[in-house]
Amino acid sequence: MSQQTIVNAEEQMKKEIEYLKHEFTTIRTSRATPALLDKIQVEAYGSPMPLKQLANISAPEPRLLIVQPYDKSIHDAVMKAIQKSDLSVTPQTDGNLIRIVIPPLTEERRKDLVKIIRKKIEEGKISVRNVRRDANEDLKKNEKEGTVSEDQSRRMQDQVQKLTDRYVKELDNLFAAKEREIMEI
């Protein structure tokens, strides 16, 4: 039972890392990737829908994204959604295609992006520490119920702390890598 607590804690910590890795793909760097448009919602067919469900998105060049809506009737809605996004880009229409030229980042914008990433990493660390807290509470509860001894509980709490330290370090490494990517010219 208590060993399962440790396994569950590690799974939750891994999920937090994966979530942040996915979040980081949506943060704009100097390269164009289709993942930049993942968060864009388009008002189509009477409800908001993810852009990637309504169009083919490709990156034929390092600073260019091509969006090709599957249905020509939603072309204008896709244009509006891209313009309203926080990407600071101006889409250009070319028949049925929408071209998005990704401008180079300014130094000020790079620093803003690093601040955003730092904030997300801190939120990730808080989530990992919350998982640690929950696991430790569960282990202490098992100790009070008598299902594990005090020594076993302490050893398992040490294991949970080592897991926490490992995942916090992984978050720090993730931040350092993304910061380097953003700050490169």
The 10s digit of each residue's pLDDT in 156-183 is 999 999 999 999 999 999 999 988 888 8
Same structural domain for residues 130 and 163? Answer: yes
pLDDT of 30 = 65
Using alpha carbons, list the distances in angstroms from residue 85 to 12, 43, 52, 82, 150. 31, 13, 14, 5, 54
Global pTM reads 0.70
Boundary residue ending a domain (101, 131, 158)? 101
Which of these ranges, 41-50, 84-93, 108-117, 126-135, has the smallest mean pLDDT? 84-93
What is the rounded (10 degree) CA torsion for 131, 135, 138, 142? 180
Same structural domain for residues 131 and 157? Answer: yes
Range 142-150 average pLDDT: 88
Q: Is 61 helix (H, G, I), strand (E, B) or coil?
A: strand
- CB neighbours of 94 closer than 8 A, spacing ≥ 6? none
Which of these ranges, 5-9, 64-68, 92-96, 137-141, has the smallest mean pLDDT? 92-96
Token digits of residue 136: 């430790």
Quickly state the pLDDT bin for 29 (edges 50, 70, 90): low
For the chain, how many structural domains are there in total?
Answer: 2
Token digits of residue 181: 């990517």
d(CA 185, CA 181): 9
d(CA 18, CA 164): 15
- Owning domain of residue 114: 2-25+106-183
Using alpha carbons, list the distances in angstroms from residue 32 to 63, 99, 106. 5, 12, 16
Range 82-99 average pLDDT: 84
Same structural domain for residues 126 and 139? Answer: yes
d(CA 62, CA 65): 8
CB 121 within 8 A of CB 20: yes
Boundary residue ending a domain (101, 129, 158)? 101
Same structural domain for residues 10 and 40? Answer: no
Same structural domain for residues 90 and 42? Answer: yes
Boundary residue ending a domain (85, 101, 117)? 101
